[in-house]
């Protein structure tokens, strides 16, 4: 064992592994900090990246690599996808995807049924930037997508996700 610790290649590999773990952890700190702030600007029953939630009031829908919990209420529908975050293999089970069609849920002072243009302006004021899809906004690893039926200006669905990684390239 002593000769193994004296081996320069072994020490280099261990150092690289430690640096890799620290870099992965460090890169996710801004997302975790921002999620705390994001959750404070919503009235979601379960916040983004929460873990250890009591799902007894929800319907369980299966999936490989994730579980979806959904609930229909008088004011609409909401579902939560729970999977490993920040990485598909090395993470821990957290809420990393939310679908909201519930008009009682408020996110940054807008909700389902409000005007999409007004919601996009609110997201821009909160430093979200447009990305990819014309109605998709990103900030610190959080993606918010606004959907409207029949391309009108009224929000019919809001999807929120926390970007995750898949460093080993596992295909589910």
170 vs 157, residue with greater confidence: 157
Q: What is the share, in percent, of the chain residues with pLDDT greater than 70? A: 88
Q: Distance between CA atoms of 144 and 133, rounded to whole angstroms? A: 10
pLDDT digits (tens, 9 = 90+) for 91-124: 788 999 999 999 999 999 999 999 999 999 999 9
Residue 1 has pLDDT above 80, yes or no: no
- pTM confidence score: 0.81
| Range 92-103 burial, b when 16+ CB lie within 10 A, else e | eebbbbbbbbbe
**What is the tens place of the pLDDT at every residue in 31-70?**
888 999 999 999 999 999 999 899 999 999 876 778 999 9
CA–CA separation, 47 and 36 (whole Å): 9
The C-alpha atoms of residue 108 and residue 123 are separated, in whole angstroms, by 8
Q: Region 73-84: what's the mean pLDDT?
A: 93
HSE of 137, CA atoms in CB hemisphere, 13 A: 19
Count CA atoms within 13 Å of residue 155 on its CB side: 29
Percent of the chain predicted with pLDDT > 90 = 58
Give the residue with greater pLDDT, 50 vs 5. Answer: 50
What's the CA gap between 147 and 141, in Å, rounded?
Answer: 20
CB 121 within 8 A of CB 109: no
**pLDDT above 70 for 132:** yes
Residue 25: band (very low, low, confident or very high) from pLDDT cuts 50, 70, 90 = low
pLDDT averaged over the chain? 87
User: Averaged over 129-138, what is the pLDDT?
Assistant: 89
């Amino acid at each position: 064992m002593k000769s193994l610790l004296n081996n320069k290649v072994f020490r280099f590999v261990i150092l690289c592994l430690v640096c890799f773990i620290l870099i992965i952890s460090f890169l996710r700190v801004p997302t975790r900090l921002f999620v705390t702030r994001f959750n404070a600007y919503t009235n979601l029953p379960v916040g983004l990246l929460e873990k250890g939630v009591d799902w007894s009031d929800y319907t369980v829908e299966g999936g490989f690599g994730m579980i979806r919990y959904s609930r229909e209420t008088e004011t609409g529908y909401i579902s939560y996808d729970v999977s490993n975050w920040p990485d598909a293999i090395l993470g821990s089970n957290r809420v990393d995807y939310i679908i909201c069609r519930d008009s009682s849920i408020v996110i940054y002072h807008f909700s389902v049924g409000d005007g999409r243009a007004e919601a996009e302006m609110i997201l821009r004021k909160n430093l979200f930037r447009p990305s990819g899809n014309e109605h998709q906004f990103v900030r610190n690893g959080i993606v918010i997508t606004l959907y409207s039926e029949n391309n009108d200006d009224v929000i019919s669905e809001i999807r929120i996700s926390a970007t995750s990684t898949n460093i080993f390239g596992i295909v589910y």
